[in-house]
Structure formats: C-alpha cells, structure tokens
Structure 1
Amino acid sequence: MQVFKLYIKLFTKALPTIAIYIGVFLAIVVLSTLNNNDTNSTIFEESKVRIAYINRDEESILLQGFKNHLGNSSVFVDIEDTDEGLKDALFFRDATYILIIPEGFTRDFLSGNEPILNKIHLPDFMDATIDLAVNNYFNTARTYLNHIENLSEKEIVEKVTRDLNTKVEVNIYSGKVDQVDSSSTIFYYDYLVYVILSVMILGIGSIMITFSNLDIKRRNLASPISLVNYQFQQILAYLFFAVICLVIFISIGLLLTSQSLFQITSLLLILNVISFTTCALSIAYLVGSLVKSRGSTDMIANVIGLGMSFIGGVFVPIEFLGETVIQVSKFTPAYWYTTANGAIANLTNFTWNNLSSIFSHMLIQLGFTIAIFAVALVINKNKSTEAV
C-alpha cells in the first residue's frame, strides 16, 4: 500500500489550508446558529398592542366589561383627550391605536342600533388584534340582546365574558416521529455545500497536481506496481479522505444542532450529505485532472463553492431566486441537495409518498457523480497516453 500511504502523507501537508476553510466555516455556522435558533418558529404568540382607550360615554357595565376584555390583548396608555394630544401620541408612538367611545354609545347599542366606535391608528399598523376583540365582544353581546328578551345589561356582560373566556384545547396529530425541530439543523447542513466543495477540491486537487508532472507519471508507469493496483490505492486514498471529512462534519452537526444520530430525520440528512459528498469528490477529481497549478486550484475552489452556494439555495433560499436562476441551478447537484434538505425538514410522517421525492433527489446527485467522474476518467485516460 505504498501509494495509499504516500497519498495520506500528501493530504497531511494540505491540512493547514483545509483547516482554515473548516475554521471559517465553523465560526460562521456557530454564530449564525446561535442567532437563528428561534427565527423560524411556527408557534403563534399573541403580542399586546399599546392602545389609548378614551371613553366619552358614561361608565356603563357594558363598557366596563368591554374594557376588561380589551385588556387581554392590549396595554392601556393614558393620553390627553385633545386633537393635539391624539396627534402627539401617535407621532411619538406612545400609542399605536386609539379607540374612542362616542357619547351615547351604550344607550344606542342597548336600543338595538349599531353605533360606530371611532378609531385612529398609525398608517403602517397591520395588527388586527384590536379590531377582532372589538367585533367579538359587541357581536356576541348583540346576539344575546336580539335573541333573548328581558336580559339586563349585567346579565349580557356576564354571558359575553363567559363565552369569550372559554378556551378549547386542540391537539394536532400528524403521525410524526422525530421531525427536525430547529431551522439551525437545516441551516448547518445547507452550508456544508460550500465547505465540502472547497475542502474536496483543495485536498484532492492539490494532490493530483503533484502527480501531474510528466516525469512523475512516467516513473509511476515504469514502477513494479500495476496500473490497476495504483489506481485502486489512489481511489482508496480519496475515499478515505472523504470519509474523514464526513465524520468531522457530521459529528460537528450533531453536536451543534442537538440532533440524535438515531433519529430518522438525522439519518436522512446524513444520507443526503453523503450523496452530495460523492458529487464533490467527482468534481474535485475533474478539477485535479484539468488544473496544473495550486493557485488555480484555490481560485476554482472558491468559484465553484461560492457559485453553487449562491444559485443552489444555500446563501439565498430557493424561493427568493428568479425563475431563470432556478432553471440554471437545477443543473447543479447543490440545488437537489438543498431541496432534499428542505423536504426532510418538512417531514411529518415517513410514508413512501413523502420519502420517494427525497430519495429521487439523492439519486439525481449520484447521477451527477457518475457523469462528472466519467468525464474525468476520459480526460485522465487521454493524459496517460501522452505520458507514454
């Protein structure tokens, strides 16, 4: 295994450059993961609105109950009840919503009329919480007023308060087993596109350049090791390097994202990253077959890594890309890799219908691997004839 050992020694010499890429990658991912853990939360949390409640009517039981109900979704602030005071409150954002109860509101409402509440809010105010609370309260009160005779004002408020405070517990069961629980997991695995491509091209490409010298090629052909044995040890060294990189990146991913190795989603993500690594390996082999200097290898590693990351949905989500860019990105393995990651993140149950598209994306990546590797073999075969 002389060839294999030689390749391993050459890989160790390239470790400083590779370590820089891995270090920068880890710094970016760790910082971004810490900042984005709760960014894509799918849990709805009601926020309270700063509201100025101005009552120009009497302090009736109906309005007191309404104010209590409104307090569940808002924070009351005191402002001056003048035109100047209202304008200042909105201008300085002391309140984002001003609700004014007109004079005679209670009398008109209990008489069966439909008096109008006056409201003023900021132009960019998009929260419908207050309007919803107002409509719920008075629509419910009007229902009791119109359909039950001889109800007192106090009884109407009691019934409305009871109805609006009734909570219904809803349990949603989707049959999921261990869905990805954080956007940081997909964020990490998506960003592996850049680092895997860069590390593979730098590691494998630089080694192949060392053996591209014509004198070294002729010496290898004249050695007692057969060409088949030589190529076998060469491929074995490349695979060994790829496996070591995968173990490092997967271990870091499991540590950062707190995912268990034995979760089905984790296994699918790992299987997907293995499929992409085979593509990166074939791309690195092709680059090493074409490039003749280490400087060119560094440049190409950056161009390919950044290029695929930008159009493949890593740095910019797929949904934000233009249609033309998406059509172009489909000719890169990065697109199918990130698309598969997104599908894995959205899994709620593991039926064949849901998994089939994910496996098809992995097979497409393997198809890229075979095609790129075949091109590289043809180039290497032509170069080997030149050395004879």
Structure 2
Amino acid sequence: MQVFKAMMKIMRKRLPSAMIYIIVFIVISILVTNASTKDNKFEVTKLDICVFDEDDTPESRALTEFIGKTNDIDEIENDRDAIIDALYYKRVNYALIINKGYAEKLAAGDTADLFGSYHIDENYSVVYIGQFLDEYTTSVKAYLAMGKTVDEAISCTEEALSQHTDVDMLRVDKGGNSHYSVDFAGYFQYMPYILIAAVFTVICQVLVTMNNKDIRYRTNCSCMNSSKYTFQLIFGSGLFVISVWLLLIIIGAVLNKEMYTGRAWYAVFNSFIFSLVVTAMAVFVASFEPKENVLNIITQVLSIGMSFLCGIFIPMEVLSDKVLSVARFLPAYWYVKANNMIADIEPFSRSDVLLCCLVEAGFALMFIILTLLVRKVKYSGAAIATSAKKAAVSH
C-alpha cells in the first residue's frame, strides 16, 4: 500500500482547503436551523406613510388617526418632487391623499374617488393600503346603511378593524410520519455542492501530484501494475470522501436534533451513492492532469453548474423543460429528484427513489471505467518508453 500511504501524506496538506467549504456549510446550516426552529409569530408590518388631508374634516382626521395606530405617519412637504424623492429613497412607503369632499361623499355612501396616492410601483405597501382603505370605507358605508350616524359608523368600523387574532406560523413537515423533516430535506438538498467542491479541491490536487511524470515513470519501473496502482488511488480517494460524507451525516443529525429514522435513511443512502459518484468524477478529471488554475475552473463549473441546472440552488419546479432535459445527463439531477421524492415535494415511491440511486451508481461506474481506459491509454506510452530505455541500456 505504498501508493496509498504516499497519497495520505499529500492529502493532509490539502485538507485545510476542503475544511473551508465544510465549515462554511456547517455555519450556514446552523444559522438556517436556528432561524427555522424559533417560534414564528406573525406580526403586522408597520409602514411609513405620509398623509395629505385636503378635506380637513373630523371624518378625514379620524381616518388619519386610525391609520397612525398601526403605521408610522411621517411629515413631508406637500410638494410632488419632495414626495417622489421620499418614496425613491425609501423614507416613506406610501403617500396618501384624502381628496376634498371625502366626508361629504362618505356620508352619502359614495366610495368612489375618495383618495389619491403617490407610490413607486405596485408593491406590498400599495396592495396593503389599498385593501385597508377599501375595507374601511366599505365598513363605514355598511354601518350607514344600517341607520347609524357617521360618527357611530366610523366608531364601529374602527372597533371592527381593530380586532386582532394571534397567528402562529407553523412549519408543516412533509413526509407524514416518515421523520424526514424540513430541516433534513434542506440540509441534504445542498450537500452535493459541498461534496463536489470539497472533494475536487483535495482529491484532484492529490491525484494530479500522484500522476506527476517522474512519480509515474518510477511506478512503471516497479513491479506494481497499472490496475493495482489505479485501485489504490481510487481506494484512497474513496476513503477520504466517505470520511467527509460521514462527517456531514453526523453534523446533520446534531443540527436537526434528531436521529435518522424512517424515510430519512433513504436520504442518507442517496447521499452516500452520490459521494461515490463524486469520487469517481474526481479521479476521472485528475487523470487528465489539469493545471491548478484549470482545475479550479473545472471545480467551480461542475459544482455551481450542476447546482443551478439540477435543482440544488433553484427548485426543479421552476426550471424549464429544456434545462431539465439537459440536467438528466448529470448525476446531481437524479440525486435531487430522489431527495424531492423523499421530502414529498414529488410523490414518494420507494422503487423510483432506488431507481434514481441506481442511475447515480451507473454514473459512478461509468467514470471508473473511463478512468481505467484513460490511464491505460495515456500511461501505456510511459511504460513502452521505459521498456525501450531498458533495452537500449542492456545492449
């Protein structure tokens, strides 16, 4: 196992590069987990609103005061340019104009053309205020139709609209009793990116060093055949990847504060198969002995490219059919597809999940075969050259 031992020595020097990716992934996972486990209490957002009361009646002032109970009223000069500047620089969210004749129209039950407004675009603030004003004037009109006076109608409307209900935002974990929580699903969703980035950063660099011309020629001169040499490289690479994968699995259980049970084991198995795919990919890429800058580009293209094309960073349901057609030729697509079924984003089917894992394993086998072929073709020339030199020396 001389090749394996040499590989481990080189790998220790490259380990800090991989740990950067892993540590960042862990920190982000901790932040996301802590944010998602907090009690989510729904609170109405306060808006910054400026009100220009052109009617200046008790009814219009009552509306302004009522708006101020749930929002912040800002004083701005009644000038078009000043209002637009305030909206553009986000000092206010909405500028409301209570038109002249508001009280008279409201008393007559006419709710048309009561207000004007300034706003930048059709955003949340515009919809919220528009809905609020519509509810307010409609309620006043309804109370007036019941025979109440204007003051009584406004008072009843304010009382009715002031009613609040405590709302708790609950997260619904898909998967029923499968014990595959939202946190687990999100954690496993982004794991392929970290596996590709961390593994390629270490394994490819180590293998490129091991494939150095001088080292390879010395190996060809020894009694070790090419297949045994390649096997030790794959074994060492696999051991490192499984160690990284096992670390991520343990951290996932710690962060989510629950052990893997039920359907979550499918996700564990799916990630294990994908880690083998990443190992085979790294060994295959390293067989071409790319320069370090080229290798960095390959790492980023594979990790980020597959993340965007295969549904890791962008959900599959929002990707176009053409993108998904291309993604089917990438192993990460089948990983994400299996993870979506496990999380019930797509209908769960045990046979379909295992089929996705089988396709991933097929990718791993393909890369291993291609690696053996590349090494046999690429390095056989070195063996022939070495034999020729030996023959020349003997003569």
Instruction: Assess same fold via TM > 0.5.
Output: yes
Q: 1:370 to 1:254 in 2, by over 3 A?
A: same
- Structure 2: segments with no counterpart, 5+ residues: 388-395
Paired with 1:211 and 1:283, the residues of 2 have a C-alpha distance of 24
8 Å contact 2:238–2:276 — kept in the other structure? no
Does residue 347 in structure 1 map to residue 350 in structure 2? no
Identity percentage of aligned residues: 18
AA matched with 1:143: A
Query: Helix, strand or coil: the match of 2:307?
Result: coil
8 Å contact 1:190–1:314 — kept in the other structure? no
**Map of 1:193 onto structure 2:** 196
Does residue 375 in structure 1 map to residue 370 in structure 2? yes
AA matched with 1:152: T
Residue 312 of structure 1: how far off its partner (Å): 0.6
**Map of 1:241 onto structure 2:** 240
**Map of 2:298 onto structure 1:** 304
AA matched with 1:310: I
Q: 1:22 to 1:235 in 2, by over 3 A?
A: closer
Segment of structure 1 superposing worse, 130-139 or 42-51: 42-51
AA matched with 2:301: G
Q: 1:116 to 1:377 in 2, by over 3 A?
A: same
**Map of 1:111 onto structure 2:** 108
So what's the TM-score if we normalise by structure 1?
A: 0.72
Query: Helix, strand or coil: the match of 2:183?
Result: coil
Question: Residue by residue, what CA displacement relative to the aligned partner does 1:156-175 show, whole Å, maximum 9, x if unpaired?
Answer: 23443344325386878666
Q: 1:43 to 1:189 in 2, by over 3 A?
A: farther
Residue 85 of structure 1: how far off its partner (Å): 6.6
Paired with 1:87 and 1:283, the residues of 2 have a C-alpha distance of 56
Residue 135 of structure 1: how far off its partner (Å): 0.7
Paired with 1:124 and 1:43, the residues of 2 have a C-alpha distance of 28
Paired with 1:235 and 1:82, the residues of 2 have a C-alpha distance of 73
Does residue 102 in structure 1 map to residue 99 in structure 2? yes
Does residue 213 in structure 1 map to residue 216 in structure 2? yes
Paired with 1:203 and 1:56, the residues of 2 have a C-alpha distance of 76
Question: Residue by residue, what CA displacement relative to the aligned partner does 1:307-351 show, whole Å, maximum 9, x if unpaired?
Answer: 21232126994469887766544433234445555x27x935896
Q: 1:245 to 1:75 in 2, by over 3 A?
A: same
CA-atom RMSD, angstroms? 4.5
AA matched with 1:192: L
Paired with 1:15 and 1:243, the residues of 2 have a C-alpha distance of 14
Paired with 2:214 and 2:243, the residues of 1 have a C-alpha distance of 22
Paired with 2:246 and 2:193, the residues of 1 have a C-alpha distance of 16
**Map of 2:283 onto structure 1:** 285
**Map of 2:143 onto structure 1:** 144
Residue 196 of structure 1: how far off its partner (Å): 2.1
**Map of 1:153 onto structure 2:** 150
Question: Residue by residue, what CA displacement relative to the aligned partner does 1:44-81 show, whole Å, maximum 9, x if unpaired?
Answer: 76432211223333543x54653454235421122345
Question: Residue by residue, what CA displacement relative to the aligned partner does 1:238-274 show, whole Å, maximum 9, x if unpaired?
Answer: 543332232234445556x555442667645433332
Paired with 1:93 and 1:228, the residues of 2 have a C-alpha distance of 67
8 Å contact 2:42–2:167 — kept in the other structure? no
Paired with 2:66 and 2:338, the residues of 1 have a C-alpha distance of 47
8 Å contact 2:52–2:78 — kept in the other structure? yes
8 Å contact 1:205–1:287 — kept in the other structure? no
Q: 1:264 to 1:53 in 2, by over 3 A?
A: farther
**Map of 1:332 onto structure 2:** 330
- Structure 1: segments with no counterpart, 5+ residues: none
Number of aligned positions between the proteins? 368
Q: 1:336 to 1:233 in 2, by over 3 A?
A: same
**Map of 1:135 onto structure 2:** 134
Query: Helix, strand or coil: the match of 1:112?
Result: coil
Query: Helix, strand or coil: the match of 1:116?
Result: coil
Residue 376 of structure 1: how far off its partner (Å): 2.7
So what's the TM-score if we normalise by structure 2?
A: 0.71
Instruction: Determine which of 360, 371, 385 is the counterpart of 1:365.
Output: 360
